[in-house]
Copies of this chain bind each other. A is one copy, B any other.
Amino acid sequence: MSESETETAAGIGDAAAERHKAKMAKRKAVQDAEVASKTIEKGLLLVHTGPGKGKSTAAFGLALRMLGHGHRVGVVQFVKGAWETGERRALGAFGDRVAWYSMGEGFTWETQDLRRDVAAAERAWEQVEALMADPTIALLVLDELNIALRYDYLALDRVVAALAGRRPDLHVVVTGRNAKPALTDVADLVTEFTLVRHPFAAGVKAQAGIEF
């Protein structure tokens, strides 16, 4: 039996408790110095990319967090359209503190219409520009913008220039697989979501509250 098992199962000895305390006191000093060295406050550009689950979900979690601090949030969805999702309905609880625009026409394999997809992306981008100019918006979620960029529905240069030139206090989170390097180059935080195991592989269907 390892020492740690003994500790959990049969109580913690005084020596172990003292060693832990000394180790943690050292760690706290390191942590405190680290925190003190960070002084900049600014609106961040966050990118959630990669093939794993949770990219959009984490963005809506950030929206929730921002709402909890009393701020307003804007959401523009580039792929999802009219269909109702749990996150949209739930954020409805916050009334006009959430400005929600689902501008997509559905997945590209549903529309099967390139001109329509491009036109939808253009309209969505106009909405983004309006929200970026609204000083009451603290966080902007650009859901699946990476998809619109990947398929060249929008000009990459124009999008990157607008995001890089956002007002200094605006946080923006961009989601979707295959983020363009030109975008991640100007981002403050990039998280890659990697799939380790997915239940669809075992025949589990998309379920309400989990997938939508």
Contacts and interface: CB of A to CB of B under 8 A. Distances in A.
A68 interface: yes
A191 B91 contact: no
Interface in A176-212: 184, 187-200, 202-210, 212
A189 B198 contact: yes
A209 B8 contact: no
Contact of A202 (B21, B25, B61, B188): B188
B204 A197 contact: no
A25 B109 CA distance: 6
A21 B112 CA distance: 5
Contacts of A115: 12, 17
A67 B17 CA distance: 42
Interface of A: 4-5, 7-9, 12, 16-17, 20-21, 24-25, 27-28, 31, 34-35, 37-42, 44, 46, 48, 50, 52-54, 56-62, 64-69, 71, 85-91, 93-94, 107-115, 118, 138-139, 151-155, 171, 184, 187-200, 202-210, 212
